[in-house]
Amino acid sequence: MADRVSSGERNAALDIFAGSSSAVAAVQGVFGPAGAAVGAAKVGAAMAGATAGAASGSWAFDREQIDAVIRQWEDLRDDLEQDRQSINSMIRNAVPPSSDDPSGQFVKSILDGLRSLDESNSSMAEYVQDFLDKLYKARNVISQTETDNTDPFRSATSPSDKSL
């Protein structure tokens, strides 16, 4: 996924992802510099409204809409997996250039940061997978509801008595 956010829009802490195809950059590209929390809140609010407000008519999702949302979240999940692999590769390859204490301490601090990044990535991946599970369930409910609502019409319009 292409990085659609210019590095000028990122704060310095996130600029390490400039030009990458990371999930962070992808989320920022979709939801802006505010990041995943705002985007997840928007989609979460829409989904909650689709469930809670369906009776009042304020929100409704059809199968195609929820499939499109699912594809976006699956893309994010896949990006997070690519990031996890990159982080683990960096952890495996972080070795001190020499055996002196300052080099060892420097690599230790890099590894501490990479492990924190890995924990954060795992937490995001777990959140995304949990949300995907809810979306899959919602899609199944929508499909079942559509089937339940169309079955009476199918039986009423199907020619069951050819003599009429």
Write down the domain spans for the chain. 7-148
Using the predicted structure, report yes or no on whether residue 164 has a pLDDT greater than 90: no
What's the pLDDT tens digit per position in 84-108? 999 999 999 999 999 999 999 999 9
What sign has the CA pseudo-torsion 58, 63, 68, 74? Answer: positive
Residue 25 sits at φ, ψ, to 5 deg, of: -65, -40
DSSP-derived secondary structure letter, 55: T
| pLDDT tens sequence across 19-76 | 444 555 555 555 555 444 445 555 555 555 454 444 555 466 677 888 999 999 999 9
* Rounded-to-integer distance, Cα 68 and Cα 108, Å: 43
Tell me how far apart the alpha carbons of residues 137 and 145 are, in angstroms, rounded to a whole number: 12
- State the pTM of this model: 0.56
